[in-house]
């Protein structure tokens, strides 16, 4: 199938804290970005999971800098949520701003956002492509 796909469409992928999922969903919905997929994932960043679940649920504990000996606690991977939404290139800054504002606590583990080009978007049911497939 030859595509007529020419629009600039991107996939925004964000890794965020589990307890921030509803706030993130609500903020995206409020701005009209309701086509999103959420995944349950496990991972770790620079701290290699240090701080464990307590730090994931309450980053204010900041166990990484505390006197608690975390060497005995091996939290290699922490539960996170990954979201993916495909949007027009013109909406990228708005979506990234929404996700950042909702999820930024200033503590380790706030997450990451990745923006990648989409070569093809196709709605299977109708064979619509490009912007028609994502709207």
Whichever domain contains 92, its CATH number is: 3.30.70.120
Q: Do 34 and 134 meet the contact criterion of CB atoms below 8 Å apart?
A: no
Specify if 27 maps to a domain: yes
How confident is residue 29, by pLDDT bands cut at 50, 70 and 90? Answer: very high
Q: Higher-confidence residue: 91 or 5?
A: 91
CA dihedral (55, 56, 60, 64) in degrees, to 10, reads 40
Q: Interhelix angle for 92-103 vs 21-30, to 10°?
A: 140
Q: What is the mean pLDDT of residues 93-109?
A: 94
Specify if 15 maps to a domain: yes
Range of the domain at 105: 9-45+77-134
CB atoms within 10 A of CB 95: 22
Specify if 104 maps to a domain: yes
pLDDT of residue 58: 58
Q: Higher-confidence residue: 78 or 102?
A: 102
Q: What is the mean pLDDT of residues 39-63?
A: 66
Per the structure, the count of domains in the chain is: 1
The least confident of 21-25, 50-54, 117-121, 124-128 is 50-54
pLDDT of residue 44: 80
Q: What is the mean pLDDT of residues 91-104?
A: 98
């Amino acid at each position: 199938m030859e595509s007529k796909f020419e629009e600039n469409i991107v996939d925004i992928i964000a890794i965020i804290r589990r307890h921030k999922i509803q706030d993130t969903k609500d903020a995206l919905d409020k701005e009209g970005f309701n086509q999103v997929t959420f995944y349950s994932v496990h991972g770790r960043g620079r701290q290699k999971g240090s701080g464990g679940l307590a730090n994931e649920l309450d980053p204010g504990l900041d166990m990484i800098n505390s006197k608690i000996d975390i060497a005995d606690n091996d939290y290699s991977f922490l539960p996170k949520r990954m979201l993916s939404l495909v949007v027009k290139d013109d909406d990228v800054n708005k979506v990234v701003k929404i996700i950042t504002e909702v999820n930024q606590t200033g503590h380790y583990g706030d997450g990451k956002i990745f923006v990648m080009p989409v070569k093809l978007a196709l709605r299977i049911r109708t064979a619509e492509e490009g912007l028609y497939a994502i709207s």
